[in-house]
Amino acid sequence: MRATDLTTKRAILGEFARRGSARVLGVAVAVLAAARATVGDFGRGDLLAIGVTVLITGSVEWTIHTHLLHAPEDSWVSRTLHTGDGHRQHHLDPPDVDWILLRTVDAAVFVAMFGLFTAAWSVPLMWASGSSVTGGFLTAYLCAAAGLLHYEWVHLMVHTRYRATSRYYRNLDRRHRLHHFRNEHYWMGVTSHTGDRLMRTLPRERTDVPLSPTARTLAGSDANPD
């Protein structure tokens, strides 16, 4: 399947729904939502969990994209974890849906990793704030899983011929295309660009950075963009 064959939101949704990553993440969101509702005891911890998740999303995307997906082929990360293998294929052939979305097993791994990461910050925060530790953790974990599901949806959508009507999604579309076809060292966020703002990888204008000869191959992607 080529993403460029998808021209409507309905067609995108149909393709998305039949993919393993969407199913894994959809089940994860449903299970976590049910667990959170069962635990109850809603309070300020839930607001803290939601707020922190929104705050760190851009930085998490930036870190994963830069240091895992764009890790050079000869690095320890690539040789041991192979996190960049599929992403290099994605840059070589951006419309290929098989490389746009996570594989089923990779989506499951990400859900587990996000659970550990979420527990690492949410459990101490809930305890320190006097909030429900279990409830706050489940809310944070639910937000993380929903965020990853949204990431997958956005990543597919911006590679299709469909053009969003909202300013938010139009900006995501434009910036991600610049990442692929202008310079792979910039516009590292997919659903949020707060990480790019912090790390100064969000140019005001596309012409503020040079046209990269390695945007498709990611050769030397660890090089300093400046």
Per-residue pLDDT of the chain (226 residues), as tens digits, is 899 999 999 999 999 999 999 999 999 999 999 999 999 989 999 999 999 999 999 999 999 999 999 998 888 888 888 888 899 999 999 999 999 999 999 999 999 999 999 999 999 999 999 999 999 999 999 999 999 999 999 999 999 999 999 999 999 999 999 999 999 999 999 999 999 999 999 999 999 999 999 999 998 654 445 5
Looking at the domain assignment, is residue 162 inside a domain?
Answer: yes
Q: What is the pTM of this model?
A: 0.93
Number of domain units in the chain: 1
Q: Which residues constitute the domain of residue 31?
A: 3-167
Residue 185 in domain: no
Residue 223 is predicted with a pLDDT of 47
**DSSP-assigned letters across all residues of the chain:** -BGGG--SHHHHHHHHHTSHHHHHHHHHHHHHHHHHHHH---SHHHHHHHHHHHHHHHHHHHHHIIIIIT--TTSHHHHHH-TTHHHHHHHHSTTBHHHHSPPHHHHHHHHHHHHHHHHHHHHHHHHHHT--HHHHHHHHHHHHHHHHHHHHHHHHHTTSS---SSHHHHHHHHHHHHHHHT-TTS---SS--HHHHHHT---SSGGGSPPPTTTTT-TTTTS---
Q: Kindly state whether residue 173 falls inside one of the protein's structural domains.
A: no
